[in-house]
Every structure is written in structure tokens, then in C-alpha cells.
């Protein structure tokens, strides 16, 4: 059981977390525009998250919290 959560208002939508994710289960939330004007990143498939925190290590904005 693991989970990554994106702080939607902190995310700048750069997409670097997606390149770091070994499971390729992070995408942009196209339905949401945050206060900065970006589509924030979002975990697409919670089942597949292994909580490796590689997304969070790649995030320049400390916008990701990882739980395991």
C-alpha cells in the first residue's frame, strides 16, 4: 500500500515527476487549473504506486508527499 499526493496549488506542471516515475502512472489533471494557472500533476493509478518517491525527488517544488 503506497500513495503519492500532489499539492495541487504548489505544482507548476513541469512534468518532471512523470519522467522519473518507474511505473508511468503520473499524468496532468486536465480537468483542473490551479491558482498559478497550471494543470497540476496527479496520480492516475493508485493501485500501481510503489511509494518509491522518485517523483518527489525529481520535483523542483516540493509539491509531492509520498506515503507508504
Partner 1 sequence: MAIVFEKPHALTDVPTHYCPGCTHGIIHRLVAEVIDELGIEGKTIGVAPVGCSVLAYNYFSCDMVEAPHGRAPAVATGLKRALPDRVVFSYQGDGDLAAIGTAETVHAATRGENITVIFVNNAIYGMTGGQMAPTTLPGQVTQTTPYGRDVKVAGNPIRVCEMLSTLDGVALAQRVSVDCVKNIRVAKKAIRKGFENQLNGRGYSIIEVISSCPTNWGLTPVEALDWLRENMLPYYPLGVYKDTSEEAKGNE
Binding mask 33-52 for partner 1 (x = CB under 8 A): -----x------------x-
Size of the site for partner 1 (CB under 8 A): 27
Task: Note the Cα 39 to chain centre separation in Å.
Answer: 11
CB of 65 to partner 1, least distance (A): 5
Nearer to partner 1, 15 or 27 (CB): 15
Q: Can you give the binding site for partner 1, defined by CB under 8 A?
A: 1-3, 10, 12-16, 19-20, 38, 51, 53-54, 56-62, 64-68
Amino acid at each position: 500500500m503506497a500513495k503519492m499526493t500532489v499539492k495541487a496549488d504548489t505544482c507548476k506542471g513541469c512534468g518532471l515527476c512523470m519522467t522519473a516515475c518507474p511505473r508511468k502512472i503520473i499524468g496532468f489533471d486536465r480537468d483542473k487549473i490551479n491558482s498559478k494557472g497550471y494543470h497540476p500533476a496527479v496520480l492516475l493509478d493508485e493501485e500501481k504506486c510503489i511509494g518509491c518517491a522518485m517523483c518527489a525527488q525529481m520535483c523542483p517544488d516540493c509539491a509531492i508527499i509520498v506515503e507508504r
